[in-house]
Structure 1
Amino acid sequence: MTQSVLQSIAATDLPERGQELAGGIFVARYWLNDQERALVLMPDELEGAWGEYGVKIPGADSYSDGEANTRAMAEAGCEIAIKALELGAHIPSCLEGQLVMAAKAEGLVTLREDRYHWLSTQFSAYYAYGMAFEDGWLFNLGKLSERFVRPVRSLPIQ
């Protein structure tokens, strides 16, 4: 069951970066599909495989739109994507992961550094992107590997 969550926010109601917003921490303003948005890092930590090794998921290869990627992953049966959507959130795309890393580098959020985290951007039928939040490196990782996910919310700014 999807939780009821804030659907959008007025620009005048945005808190400072690093402050609470919509059940998480506000990390960045950014543009996605011609809409300015607020990126919120959720406190939840999920773990699981990205998908089936050797299976390319149509619609899960956007570098910037993590929600679209996550929805495609969920439709293909990916458990971590389904769990993220149930939280009213999604798995960050490569772009959104880099924005989260920038917030970490500025001391606005704390992230686990001991394991790679999945991003929702698919690289190929065999690999998807992951990020090391210790240093911000992007990697292509085998889809069957168990990795962490820190879901995010992306709210349109009115």
Structure 2
Amino acid sequence: MTMPFPEPTIPAAGRTEVFLRYLDYFRETVATKVSALPDAELRRSRLSSGWTPLELVKHLRHVELRWIEWGFQGRDVGDPWADRRDDRWYVAPEETRESLLDALRTQGAHTRSVVEANHLSTRGAPGPRWDGAQPPPLERVLFHLLQEYARHLGHLDVVTELAGGPVGE
């Protein structure tokens, strides 16, 4: 599914809607780009840093998990760093494009429900995510998520172009 860019000229009910539109757009664009890649490119790295497109998908799912569930909600999520092994991103051989994209979209639906149920000024729950600091308000958490998605989507743009996949937004 290709989602239109959330142009600033499209009216929105408020900042919450703007945040959610951009998060949905970035998430779905990642899914579209990864879905367009040939199977041989999913576990192949085209960059010296060594990450693969599937590792990026899993990482972004865990970024949302860490910031929304473990952080803002203060929930026990088991291993919040389950996207890593030996200090790098990791995808197990049995994990598939479909399962990772489903997990990303499910996490996104959870993020949306949490955001819609809270005001942007609501502070996160105290917990280990904040390492003893005062939890930030939801708006700051969402701003951080947007920069993560935008940055990593830019990385994925380069990788998919090198792999012969879709170019640009």
Give the TM-score, by structure 1 length.
Answer: 0.29
Structure having the larger proportion of residues in helix: 2
> Is the radius of gyration larger for structure 1 or structure 2?
2
Structure having the larger proportion of residues in strand: 1
Give the TM-score, by structure 2 length.
Answer: 0.28
